[in-house]
Chain A
Amino acid sequence: METPDRQSLILLLKQAGIEPDDDDLERFRPLIEQYLEALGELHSFDVSDEEIAPTFRPQWSVKK
Protein backbone atom coordinates (compact mmCIF):
# COMPACT_ATOMS: atom_id res chain seq x y z
CA MET A 1 0.00 0.00 0.00
CA GLU A 2 1.43 3.40 -0.99
CA THR A 3 2.43 5.73 1.82
CA PRO A 4 0.79 9.14 1.51
CA ASP A 5 3.09 12.16 1.33
CA ARG A 6 3.48 14.31 4.43
CA GLN A 7 0.70 16.77 3.55
CA SER A 8 -1.77 14.00 2.69
CA LEU A 9 -0.91 12.21 5.92
CA ILE A 10 -1.50 15.38 7.93
CA LEU A 11 -4.84 15.79 6.18
CA LEU A 12 -5.86 12.21 6.89
CA LEU A 13 -4.98 12.55 10.56
CA LYS A 14 -6.78 15.89 10.84
CA GLN A 15 -9.90 14.37 9.33
CA ALA A 16 -9.80 11.78 12.09
CA GLY A 17 -9.49 14.47 14.75
CA ILE A 18 -5.74 14.36 15.32
CA GLU A 19 -3.77 17.58 15.14
CA PRO A 20 -0.40 16.01 14.31
CA ASP A 21 2.68 17.16 16.17
CA ASP A 22 5.72 17.71 13.91
CA ASP A 23 8.10 15.69 16.09
CA ASP A 24 5.60 12.84 16.44
CA LEU A 25 4.94 12.81 12.73
CA GLU A 26 8.66 12.53 12.06
CA ARG A 27 9.17 9.87 14.71
CA PHE A 28 6.11 7.76 13.80
CA ARG A 29 6.48 7.98 10.01
CA PRO A 30 8.62 4.80 9.61
CA LEU A 31 6.08 2.93 11.75
CA ILE A 32 3.18 4.31 9.70
CA GLU A 33 4.98 3.23 6.52
CA GLN A 34 5.45 -0.30 7.85
CA TYR A 35 1.85 -0.40 9.01
CA LEU A 36 0.54 0.62 5.59
CA GLU A 37 2.81 -1.93 3.94
CA ALA A 38 1.45 -4.57 6.33
CA LEU A 39 -2.11 -3.58 5.42
CA GLY A 40 -1.24 -4.39 1.82
CA GLU A 41 -0.17 -7.87 2.94
CA LEU A 42 -3.37 -8.26 4.93
CA HIS A 43 -5.53 -7.51 1.90
CA SER A 44 -3.49 -9.80 -0.33
CA PHE A 45 -4.24 -12.77 1.92
CA ASP A 46 -6.99 -14.76 0.23
CA VAL A 47 -9.84 -15.54 2.61
CA SER A 48 -12.25 -16.37 -0.25
CA ASP A 49 -15.83 -16.22 1.06
CA GLU A 50 -14.93 -15.81 4.73
CA GLU A 51 -17.25 -13.48 6.61
CA ILE A 52 -16.79 -11.45 9.74
CA ALA A 53 -16.18 -13.25 13.02
CA PRO A 54 -18.46 -16.28 13.22
CA THR A 55 -18.68 -17.69 16.71
CA PHE A 56 -17.14 -20.99 17.69
CA ARG A 57 -19.62 -23.83 17.34
CA PRO A 58 -19.42 -26.67 19.84
CA GLN A 59 -19.19 -29.34 17.14
CA TRP A 60 -16.12 -27.70 15.59
CA SER A 61 -13.88 -28.73 18.43
CA VAL A 62 -15.15 -32.20 19.24
CA LYS A 63 -12.12 -34.47 19.19
CA LYS A 64 -12.58 -37.20 16.58
Chain B
Amino acid sequence: MSLAHKPTFHLTIDEARHLIRSKALSPVELTRGFLDRIDSVDGKLHSYLAVRAEEALAEARVAEAEILQGYYGGPLHGIPVAVKDQYDISGLPAAIRMKGPNEYKSTEDATTVARLRGAGAVLLGKLMMSGQPGNLPQTCNPWNLDFSPGGSRTGPGAATAAGLCMASLGEDTAGSIRNPASLSGLVGFKPTYGRVSRHGLAPLSWSLDHSGPMTWVVEDIAHMLQVIAGYDPKDPTSIPAPLPYYTASLREDLKGYVIGIPLNYIEETKPRLDPEILTLVDRALIELESLGARLENVTLPSLKVATLPNAVIYANEFFAAHRNEVGRLLKASAASRRARLYLGALPSTADYIQAQRVRSRVKREFAEAFTKIDILALPAQLQPAPRLEGTDALATLYKNLRPDFAGPFNLARLPTLCLPCGLNHARMPVALQLVAKPFDKPTLLRAGYTYQQHAKHYEERPPI
Protein backbone atom coordinates (compact mmCIF):
# COMPACT_ATOMS: atom_id res chain seq x y z
CA MET B 1 0.00 0.00 0.00
CA SER B 2 1.41 3.42 -0.88
CA LEU B 3 1.79 5.93 1.92
CA ALA B 4 -0.82 8.16 0.31
CA HIS B 5 -3.45 5.45 0.79
CA LYS B 6 -2.42 4.40 4.26
CA PRO B 7 -4.39 5.73 7.24
CA THR B 8 -2.06 7.90 9.32
CA PHE B 9 -2.57 5.63 12.33
CA HIS B 10 -1.01 2.80 10.31
CA LEU B 11 2.13 4.75 9.42
CA THR B 12 5.34 3.57 11.02
CA ILE B 13 7.69 6.09 12.60
CA ASP B 14 10.12 5.41 9.79
CA GLU B 15 7.50 6.34 7.20
CA ALA B 16 6.08 9.32 9.10
CA ARG B 17 9.49 10.89 9.76
CA HIS B 18 10.14 11.38 6.05
CA LEU B 19 6.71 12.93 5.57
CA ILE B 20 7.15 15.20 8.60
CA ARG B 21 10.63 16.28 7.59
CA SER B 22 9.47 17.13 4.07
CA LYS B 23 6.49 18.99 5.60
CA ALA B 24 4.05 16.68 3.81
CA LEU B 25 2.63 15.58 7.16
CA SER B 26 1.70 17.95 9.96
CA PRO B 27 2.53 16.76 13.51
CA VAL B 28 -0.63 18.55 14.66
CA GLU B 29 -2.80 16.68 12.17
CA LEU B 30 -1.01 13.44 12.98
CA THR B 31 -1.57 13.92 16.71
CA ARG B 32 -5.20 14.93 16.17
CA GLY B 33 -5.67 11.76 14.11
CA PHE B 34 -4.34 9.61 16.95
CA LEU B 35 -6.48 11.40 19.53
CA ASP B 36 -9.57 10.85 17.34
CA ARG B 37 -8.63 7.22 16.96
CA ILE B 38 -8.22 6.83 20.74
CA ASP B 39 -11.61 8.48 21.15
CA SER B 40 -13.33 6.11 18.74
CA VAL B 41 -11.53 2.83 19.55
CA ASP B 42 -10.28 2.84 23.11
CA GLY B 43 -13.77 2.52 24.57
CA LYS B 44 -13.60 -1.07 23.31
CA LEU B 45 -9.91 -1.69 23.91
CA HIS B 46 -9.27 -0.01 27.33
CA SER B 47 -5.58 0.50 26.72
CA TYR B 48 -5.18 4.06 28.03
CA LEU B 49 -5.26 5.02 31.68
CA ALA B 50 -4.90 8.76 30.97
CA VAL B 51 -4.93 10.70 27.70
CA ARG B 52 -3.13 14.06 27.55
CA ALA B 53 -5.21 15.45 24.69
CA GLU B 54 -4.61 19.19 25.18
CA GLU B 55 -1.00 18.84 26.25
CA ALA B 56 -0.27 16.49 23.35
CA LEU B 57 -1.76 18.94 20.84
CA ALA B 58 0.26 21.77 22.40
CA GLU B 59 3.44 19.68 22.08
CA ALA B 60 2.56 18.86 18.47
CA ARG B 61 2.10 22.58 17.70
CA VAL B 62 5.55 23.31 19.13
CA ALA B 63 7.06 20.49 17.05
CA GLU B 64 5.31 21.74 13.94
CA ALA B 65 6.46 25.33 14.49
CA GLU B 66 10.04 24.15 14.98
CA ILE B 67 9.98 22.10 11.80
CA LEU B 68 8.40 24.92 9.80
CA GLN B 69 11.17 27.21 11.06
CA GLY B 70 13.73 24.78 9.68
CA TYR B 71 14.67 22.97 12.86
CA TYR B 72 14.16 19.22 12.46
CA GLY B 73 15.17 17.35 15.61
CA GLY B 74 15.34 13.77 14.32
CA PRO B 75 13.11 10.76 13.66
CA LEU B 76 10.89 11.20 16.73
CA HIS B 77 10.17 14.89 16.13
CA GLY B 78 6.38 15.28 16.07
CA ILE B 79 5.76 11.54 16.57
CA PRO B 80 2.90 10.59 18.95
CA VAL B 81 3.96 8.00 21.53
CA ALA B 82 2.63 6.69 24.85
CA VAL B 83 4.14 5.10 27.95
CA LYS B 84 3.08 2.47 30.45
CA ASP B 85 1.75 3.89 33.72
CA GLN B 86 4.93 2.69 35.43
CA TYR B 87 6.82 5.66 33.91
CA ASP B 88 6.62 9.03 35.65
CA ILE B 89 5.26 11.91 33.63
CA SER B 90 5.57 15.18 35.54
CA GLY B 91 2.20 16.39 36.77
CA LEU B 92 0.32 13.19 36.00
CA PRO B 93 -0.91 10.67 38.58
CA ALA B 94 1.08 7.43 38.73
CA ALA B 95 -1.61 4.92 39.66
CA ILE B 96 0.85 2.08 39.90
CA ARG B 97 2.72 3.83 42.69
CA MET B 98 -0.08 2.26 44.70
CA LYS B 99 -1.38 5.20 46.65
CA GLY B 100 -4.76 5.25 44.96
CA PRO B 101 -5.42 6.43 41.40
CA ASN B 102 -5.26 10.14 42.14
CA GLU B 103 -3.25 10.50 45.30
CA TYR B 104 0.21 10.52 43.80
CA LYS B 105 1.38 12.88 41.10
CA SER B 106 4.85 12.58 39.62
CA THR B 107 6.96 15.68 40.08
CA GLU B 108 9.57 14.76 37.50
CA ASP B 109 9.62 12.94 34.17
CA ALA B 110 11.28 9.53 34.04
CA THR B 111 14.59 9.88 32.19
CA THR B 112 13.21 7.98 29.20
CA VAL B 113 10.16 10.25 29.09
CA ALA B 114 12.38 13.33 29.32
CA ARG B 115 14.49 11.99 26.46
CA LEU B 116 11.42 11.37 24.32
CA ARG B 117 10.30 14.95 24.98
CA GLY B 118 13.81 16.22 24.23
CA ALA B 119 13.66 14.46 20.85
CA GLY B 120 10.38 16.26 20.08
CA ALA B 121 8.06 13.29 20.55
CA VAL B 122 4.43 14.01 21.46
CA LEU B 123 3.26 12.26 24.63
CA LEU B 124 -0.29 11.03 24.13
CA GLY B 125 -0.67 9.64 27.63
CA LYS B 126 -0.27 6.76 30.02
CA LEU B 127 -1.18 3.17 29.31
CA MET B 128 -2.72 0.52 31.53
CA MET B 129 -0.68 -2.08 33.37
CA SER B 130 -1.52 -5.09 35.50
CA GLY B 131 -1.95 -4.65 39.21
CA GLN B 132 -3.32 -1.12 39.21
CA PRO B 133 -5.71 -0.24 42.02
CA GLY B 134 -9.42 0.30 41.45
CA ASN B 135 -11.99 -1.42 39.29
CA LEU B 136 -10.47 -0.72 35.92
CA PRO B 137 -11.70 -2.61 32.86
CA GLN B 138 -9.61 -5.37 31.30
CA THR B 139 -7.56 -4.41 28.26
CA CYS B 140 -8.52 -6.33 25.11
CA ASN B 141 -6.40 -7.66 22.28
CA PRO B 142 -6.95 -5.65 19.06
CA TRP B 143 -6.75 -8.85 16.99
CA ASN B 144 -9.80 -10.19 18.81
CA LEU B 145 -11.47 -8.32 21.65
CA ASP B 146 -12.31 -11.56 23.48
CA PHE B 147 -8.62 -12.25 24.00
CA SER B 148 -5.97 -10.83 26.31
CA PRO B 149 -3.13 -8.65 25.00
CA GLY B 150 -0.74 -10.31 27.48
CA GLY B 151 -2.05 -9.65 30.96
CA SER B 152 -5.26 -8.48 32.55
CA ARG B 153 -4.54 -4.83 31.82
CA THR B 154 -1.65 -4.44 29.45
CA GLY B 155 -1.98 -1.20 27.54
CA PRO B 156 1.27 -0.72 25.56
CA GLY B 157 0.91 -3.77 23.30
CA ALA B 158 -2.79 -3.23 22.65
CA ALA B 159 -2.49 0.53 22.02
CA THR B 160 0.50 0.23 19.68
CA ALA B 161 -0.99 -2.65 17.69
CA ALA B 162 -4.36 -0.90 17.36
CA GLY B 163 -2.78 2.29 16.03
CA LEU B 164 -3.51 4.36 19.14
CA CYS B 165 0.11 5.51 19.29
CA MET B 166 3.09 5.07 16.96
CA ALA B 167 5.26 3.48 19.63
CA SER B 168 5.09 2.81 23.33
CA LEU B 169 7.42 2.23 26.24
CA GLY B 170 6.85 -0.93 28.22
CA GLU B 171 8.75 -2.53 31.07
CA ASP B 172 9.92 -6.14 31.26
CA THR B 173 10.56 -7.92 34.59
CA ALA B 174 9.46 -11.38 33.51
CA GLY B 175 8.36 -10.84 29.90
CA SER B 176 6.09 -7.79 30.10
CA ILE B 177 7.47 -6.19 26.94
CA ARG B 178 7.94 -9.38 24.95
CA ASN B 179 4.70 -11.07 25.95
CA PRO B 180 2.29 -8.24 24.98
CA ALA B 181 4.33 -7.49 21.87
CA SER B 182 4.18 -11.16 20.82
CA LEU B 183 0.48 -11.51 21.50
CA SER B 184 -0.32 -8.26 19.69
CA GLY B 185 1.79 -8.80 16.56
CA LEU B 186 4.40 -6.15 17.42
CA VAL B 187 8.14 -5.92 17.64
CA GLY B 188 9.24 -5.73 21.28
CA PHE B 189 12.71 -5.04 22.57
CA LYS B 190 14.13 -5.74 26.01
CA PRO B 191 17.56 -4.06 26.04
CA THR B 192 20.62 -5.15 27.98
CA TYR B 193 20.17 -4.28 31.65
CA GLY B 194 21.80 -0.91 32.31
CA ARG B 195 21.46 0.32 28.74
CA VAL B 196 18.15 2.19 29.16
CA SER B 197 17.58 4.23 32.31
CA ARG B 198 15.15 3.04 34.97
CA HIS B 199 15.10 6.42 36.72
CA GLY B 200 11.47 7.44 37.19
CA LEU B 201 10.18 3.94 36.62
CA ALA B 202 8.10 2.55 39.52
CA PRO B 203 10.14 -0.47 40.63
CA LEU B 204 8.85 -4.01 40.48
CA SER B 205 12.23 -5.73 40.89
CA TRP B 206 15.35 -3.56 40.78
CA SER B 207 17.67 -6.15 39.32
CA LEU B 208 15.20 -7.54 36.76
CA ASP B 209 13.32 -4.46 35.50
CA HIS B 210 14.14 -3.52 31.92
CA SER B 211 12.75 -0.49 30.14
CA GLY B 212 12.17 -0.84 26.39
CA PRO B 213 10.04 -0.03 23.34
CA MET B 214 7.24 -1.73 21.41
CA THR B 215 6.70 -0.73 17.80
CA TRP B 216 5.22 -2.01 14.55
CA VAL B 217 8.56 -2.54 12.76
CA VAL B 218 12.23 -3.09 13.64
CA GLU B 219 13.28 0.29 12.16
CA ASP B 220 11.11 2.03 14.74
CA ILE B 221 12.77 0.09 17.56
CA ALA B 222 16.10 1.53 16.32
CA HIS B 223 14.66 5.06 16.27
CA MET B 224 13.27 4.71 19.80
CA LEU B 225 16.48 3.18 21.19
CA GLN B 226 18.61 5.94 19.70
CA VAL B 227 16.70 8.39 21.89
CA ILE B 228 16.04 6.46 25.12
CA ALA B 229 19.28 4.43 25.45
CA GLY B 230 22.51 5.71 26.92
CA TYR B 231 24.09 6.48 30.25
CA ASP B 232 22.00 8.19 32.92
CA PRO B 233 23.76 9.37 36.09
CA LYS B 234 20.38 9.31 37.88
CA ASP B 235 20.19 5.51 37.52
CA PRO B 236 22.85 3.76 39.64
CA THR B 237 22.72 0.69 37.39
CA SER B 238 23.14 2.65 34.15
CA ILE B 239 26.23 1.64 32.20
CA PRO B 240 28.39 4.28 30.47
CA ALA B 241 29.00 2.25 27.31
CA PRO B 242 29.27 4.01 23.93
CA LEU B 243 26.00 4.17 22.01
CA PRO B 244 26.07 2.77 18.48
CA TYR B 245 24.16 4.33 15.62
CA TYR B 246 21.32 1.81 15.60
CA THR B 247 19.83 2.51 12.19
CA ALA B 248 23.21 1.58 10.67
CA SER B 249 22.40 -2.01 11.70
CA LEU B 250 19.33 -2.10 9.50
CA ARG B 251 20.82 -4.04 6.61
CA GLU B 252 19.57 -7.26 5.09
CA ASP B 253 22.55 -9.48 5.62
CA LEU B 254 22.87 -12.59 7.74
CA LYS B 255 25.81 -14.22 5.99
CA GLY B 256 28.24 -15.72 8.49
CA TYR B 257 25.83 -15.44 11.39
CA VAL B 258 25.48 -18.49 13.61
CA ILE B 259 22.05 -18.87 15.19
CA GLY B 260 21.89 -21.22 18.17
CA ILE B 261 18.68 -23.07 18.96
CA PRO B 262 18.27 -24.50 22.48
CA LEU B 263 16.55 -27.68 21.30
CA ASN B 264 16.76 -29.45 24.68
CA TYR B 265 15.10 -26.54 26.41
CA ILE B 266 12.36 -26.23 23.83
CA GLU B 267 11.78 -29.97 24.22
CA GLU B 268 11.50 -29.45 27.99
CA THR B 269 8.64 -27.00 27.48
CA LYS B 270 6.82 -29.13 24.89
CA PRO B 271 4.04 -30.39 27.19
CA ARG B 272 2.93 -26.76 27.56
CA LEU B 273 4.07 -25.41 24.18
CA ASP B 274 1.40 -24.90 21.56
CA PRO B 275 2.39 -27.03 18.52
CA GLU B 276 1.26 -24.35 16.06
CA ILE B 277 3.68 -21.87 17.66
CA LEU B 278 6.48 -24.39 17.24
CA THR B 279 5.57 -24.88 13.57
CA LEU B 280 5.57 -21.15 12.84
CA VAL B 281 8.84 -20.58 14.71
CA ASP B 282 10.45 -23.54 12.88
CA ARG B 283 9.36 -21.98 9.60
CA ALA B 284 10.93 -18.65 10.65
CA LEU B 285 14.21 -20.42 11.50
CA ILE B 286 14.27 -22.08 8.09
CA GLU B 287 13.75 -18.66 6.52
CA LEU B 288 16.65 -17.26 8.55
CA GLU B 289 18.79 -20.13 7.29
CA SER B 290 17.75 -19.40 3.71
CA LEU B 291 18.86 -15.80 4.28
CA GLY B 292 22.42 -16.88 5.00
CA ALA B 293 22.53 -17.79 8.70
CA ARG B 294 23.83 -21.12 9.94
CA LEU B 295 21.62 -22.92 12.47
CA GLU B 296 23.21 -24.87 15.30
CA ASN B 297 21.89 -26.73 18.29
CA VAL B 298 23.08 -25.19 21.55
CA THR B 299 22.92 -26.80 24.98
CA LEU B 300 22.42 -24.62 28.04
CA PRO B 301 21.95 -27.03 30.98
CA SER B 302 20.82 -24.38 33.49
CA LEU B 303 18.14 -22.95 31.24
CA LYS B 304 15.63 -25.51 32.53
CA VAL B 305 15.71 -23.92 36.00
CA ALA B 306 16.28 -20.30 34.91
CA THR B 307 12.66 -19.17 35.10
CA LEU B 308 12.41 -20.06 38.77
CA PRO B 309 15.18 -17.82 40.18
CA ASN B 310 13.66 -14.97 38.18
CA ALA B 311 10.35 -15.55 40.01
CA VAL B 312 12.08 -15.77 43.40
CA ILE B 313 14.14 -12.62 42.87
CA TYR B 314 11.06 -10.82 41.53
CA ALA B 315 8.91 -11.73 44.57
CA ASN B 316 11.63 -10.84 47.08
CA GLU B 317 12.68 -7.56 45.50
CA PHE B 318 9.05 -6.58 44.96
CA PHE B 319 8.29 -7.16 48.64
CA ALA B 320 11.47 -5.36 49.74
CA ALA B 321 10.66 -2.37 47.52
CA HIS B 322 7.23 -2.05 49.12
CA ARG B 323 7.85 -3.36 52.66
CA ASN B 324 7.11 -0.07 54.36
CA GLU B 325 3.76 0.46 52.72
CA VAL B 326 2.61 -3.13 52.52
CA GLY B 327 -0.63 -2.61 54.50
CA ARG B 328 -1.83 0.13 52.18
CA LEU B 329 -0.73 -1.78 49.10
CA LEU B 330 -2.66 -4.87 50.10
CA LYS B 331 -5.81 -2.75 50.33
CA ALA B 332 -5.21 -0.92 47.04
CA SER B 333 -3.74 -3.56 44.76
CA ALA B 334 -5.12 -6.15 42.38
CA ALA B 335 -4.97 -9.86 43.33
CA SER B 336 -1.84 -10.59 41.28
CA ARG B 337 0.08 -7.91 43.11
CA ARG B 338 -1.21 -8.93 46.55
CA ALA B 339 -0.22 -12.52 45.82
CA ARG B 340 3.30 -11.47 44.83
CA LEU B 341 3.60 -9.58 48.12
CA TYR B 342 2.60 -12.74 49.99
CA LEU B 343 5.24 -14.79 48.16
CA GLY B 344 7.91 -12.17 48.78
CA ALA B 345 7.07 -12.06 52.47
CA LEU B 346 7.85 -15.75 53.04
CA PRO B 347 11.23 -16.43 54.73
CA SER B 348 13.61 -15.90 51.93
CA THR B 349 17.27 -15.07 52.55
CA ALA B 350 18.70 -18.46 51.55
CA ASP B 351 16.20 -18.69 48.67
CA TYR B 352 17.21 -15.29 47.34
CA ILE B 353 20.90 -16.16 47.59
CA GLN B 354 20.39 -19.52 45.87
CA ALA B 355 18.44 -17.74 43.13
CA GLN B 356 21.39 -15.37 42.66
CA ARG B 357 23.84 -18.29 42.52
CA VAL B 358 21.75 -19.97 39.83
CA ARG B 359 21.69 -16.59 38.08
CA SER B 360 25.51 -16.59 38.07
CA ARG B 361 25.54 -20.05 36.54
CA VAL B 362 23.00 -19.11 33.89
CA LYS B 363 24.96 -15.98 32.95
CA ARG B 364 28.16 -17.98 32.70
CA GLU B 365 26.52 -20.56 30.42
CA PHE B 366 25.10 -17.85 28.18
CA ALA B 367 28.50 -16.16 28.01
CA GLU B 368 30.10 -19.44 26.94
CA ALA B 369 27.37 -20.07 24.37
CA PHE B 370 27.93 -16.64 22.83
CA THR B 371 31.55 -17.54 22.08
CA LYS B 372 30.15 -19.99 19.51
CA ILE B 373 26.95 -18.33 18.32
CA ASP B 374 25.84 -14.81 17.44
CA ILE B 375 22.17 -15.17 18.27
CA LEU B 376 20.01 -17.54 20.26
CA ALA B 377 16.60 -18.15 18.69
CA LEU B 378 13.49 -19.64 20.26
CA PRO B 379 9.75 -19.01 20.49
CA ALA B 380 8.68 -15.87 22.34
CA GLN B 381 5.65 -17.51 23.93
CA LEU B 382 4.36 -20.90 25.03
CA GLN B 383 0.75 -20.23 24.10
CA PRO B 384 -1.18 -17.79 21.90
CA ALA B 385 -3.19 -15.00 23.55
CA PRO B 386 -5.56 -16.47 26.14
CA ARG B 387 -9.27 -15.66 26.29
CA LEU B 388 -10.07 -12.88 28.74
CA GLU B 389 -13.08 -14.68 30.14
CA GLY B 390 -12.19 -17.25 32.74
CA THR B 391 -8.50 -16.31 32.91
CA ASP B 392 -7.17 -16.71 36.45
CA ALA B 393 -5.79 -13.40 37.75
CA LEU B 394 -2.89 -15.41 39.20
CA ALA B 395 -2.11 -17.26 35.95
CA THR B 396 1.08 -15.26 35.32
CA LEU B 397 2.41 -16.05 38.79
CA TYR B 398 1.84 -19.78 38.27
CA LYS B 399 3.41 -19.54 34.82
CA ASN B 400 6.50 -17.86 36.30
CA LEU B 401 7.22 -20.96 38.39
CA ARG B 402 7.71 -23.25 35.38
CA PRO B 403 10.16 -23.14 32.46
CA ASP B 404 9.17 -20.42 29.99
CA PHE B 405 10.77 -18.29 27.27
CA ALA B 406 10.84 -14.96 29.11
CA GLY B 407 12.28 -15.10 32.64
CA PRO B 408 15.72 -16.56 31.80
CA PHE B 409 16.62 -13.46 29.77
CA ASN B 410 15.62 -11.06 32.53
CA LEU B 411 17.71 -13.15 34.88
CA ALA B 412 20.73 -13.00 32.56
CA ARG B 413 19.94 -9.38 31.57
CA LEU B 414 20.50 -10.11 27.89
CA PRO B 415 19.14 -8.01 25.00
CA THR B 416 16.15 -9.71 23.44
CA LEU B 417 14.06 -8.93 20.39
CA CYS B 418 10.74 -10.55 19.64
CA LEU B 419 9.02 -10.11 16.31
CA PRO B 420 5.98 -11.55 14.54
CA CYS B 421 6.42 -14.81 12.63
CA GLY B 422 2.82 -15.35 11.55
CA LEU B 423 -0.78 -15.80 12.64
CA ASN B 424 -2.20 -19.03 14.02
CA HIS B 425 -5.41 -20.72 12.83
CA ALA B 426 -7.48 -18.29 14.94
CA ARG B 427 -5.63 -15.35 13.33
CA MET B 428 -3.83 -14.50 16.57
CA PRO B 429 -0.14 -13.44 16.39
CA VAL B 430 2.82 -15.71 17.07
CA ALA B 431 6.36 -14.43 17.63
CA LEU B 432 9.97 -15.45 17.28
CA GLN B 433 12.47 -14.40 19.95
CA LEU B 434 16.11 -13.55 19.23
CA VAL B 435 18.67 -13.09 22.01
CA ALA B 436 22.22 -11.72 21.80
CA LYS B 437 25.15 -11.16 24.13
CA PRO B 438 25.12 -8.00 26.27
CA PHE B 439 25.11 -4.72 24.33
CA ASP B 440 24.93 -6.51 20.98
CA LYS B 441 21.74 -4.82 19.86
CA PRO B 442 23.13 -4.17 16.38
CA THR B 443 23.26 -7.92 15.71
CA LEU B 444 19.71 -8.36 16.95
CA LEU B 445 18.41 -5.43 14.94
CA ARG B 446 20.10 -6.63 11.79
CA ALA B 447 18.78 -10.19 12.17
CA GLY B 448 15.30 -8.94 13.03
CA TYR B 449 15.27 -6.47 10.15
CA THR B 450 16.48 -9.06 7.66
CA TYR B 451 13.78 -11.52 8.70
CA GLN B 452 11.09 -8.84 8.79
CA GLN B 453 11.89 -7.60 5.29
CA HIS B 454 11.76 -11.14 3.98
CA ALA B 455 8.64 -12.35 5.83
CA LYS B 456 6.66 -9.09 5.69
CA HIS B 457 4.32 -10.01 8.56
CA TYR B 458 4.09 -6.29 9.34
CA GLU B 459 1.81 -5.87 6.34
CA GLU B 460 -1.11 -7.43 8.17
CA ARG B 461 -2.86 -5.28 10.75
CA PRO B 462 -5.43 -6.19 13.40
CA PRO B 463 -9.04 -5.80 12.25
CA ILE B 464 -10.03 -3.17 14.83
Other 5 A-B pairs with CB < 8 A, given A13-B346, A56-B437, A61-B370:
A20-B342, A43-B350, A45-B305, A60-B371, A64-B371
A47 engages B361 (CB within 8 Å): yes
From B15-23, B135-143, B306-314, the one touching the partner chain is B306-314
Interface size class of B (residues with CB under 8 A): 35 or more
Partner of B311, one of A20, A38, A53, A54: A38
A15 vs B309: C-alpha distance in the bound complex, in angstroms?
24
Nearest Cβ distance between residue A24 and chain B, in whole angstroms? Answer: 6
The A/B interface has a contact count, at CB < 8 Å, of 120
Q: Is A41's CB within 8 Å of the partner chain B?
A: yes
B354 engages A53 (CB within 8 Å): no
Q: Which of A1-33 contact B (CB under 8 A)?
A: 12-13, 16-21, 24, 27-28, 31-32
A16 vs B349: C-alpha distance in the bound complex, in angstroms?
13
Q: Is B454's CB within 8 Å of the partner chain A?
A: no
A46's nearest neighbour on chain B, judged by CB, is B361
Partner of A34, one of B353, B371, B401: B401
A33 vs B160: C-alpha distance in the bound complex, in angstroms?
37
Nearest Cβ distance between residue B399 and chain A, in whole angstroms? Answer: 11
A46 vs B143: C-alpha distance in the bound complex, in angstroms?
44
Q: Is B62's CB within 8 Å of the partner chain A?
A: no
**Given A16-B319, A20-B342, A32-B343, are A47 and B394 also a contact pair (CB < 8 Å)?**
no
**Given A12-B346, A63-B372, A64-B371, are A28 and B438 also a contact pair (CB < 8 Å)?**
no
Partner of B327, one of A19, A27, A56, A62: A19
Q: Is B351's CB within 8 Å of the partner chain A?
A: yes
Interface string of B310-329 (1 = CB under 8 A from A): 01100100010001001100
Q: For A20, list chain B residues within 8 Å (CB).
A: 342
Partner of A42, one of B339, B358, B398: B358
A51 engages B345 (CB within 8 Å): no
A53 engages B356 (CB within 8 Å): yes
Nearest Cβ distance between residue B330 and chain A, in whole angstroms? Answer: 7
Q: How many residues of A contact B (CB 8 A)?
A: 35
A-B contact pairs, 6 of them (CB 8 A): A16-B346, A19-B330, A31-B343, A34-B398, A35-B401, A63-B372
A15 vs B335: C-alpha distance in the bound complex, in angstroms?
21
Q: Is B357's CB within 8 Å of the partner chain A?
A: yes
Q: For B397, list chain A residues within 8 Å (CB).
A: 31
Q: For A13, list chain B residues within 8 Å (CB).
A: 342, 345-346
Q: Is B338's CB within 8 Å of the partner chain A?
A: yes
Q: For A47, list chain B residues within 8 Å (CB).
A: 354, 357-358, 360-361
A13 vs B356: C-alpha distance in the bound complex, in angstroms?
23
**Given A21-B330, A38-B308, are A50 and B360 also a contact pair (CB < 8 Å)?**
yes
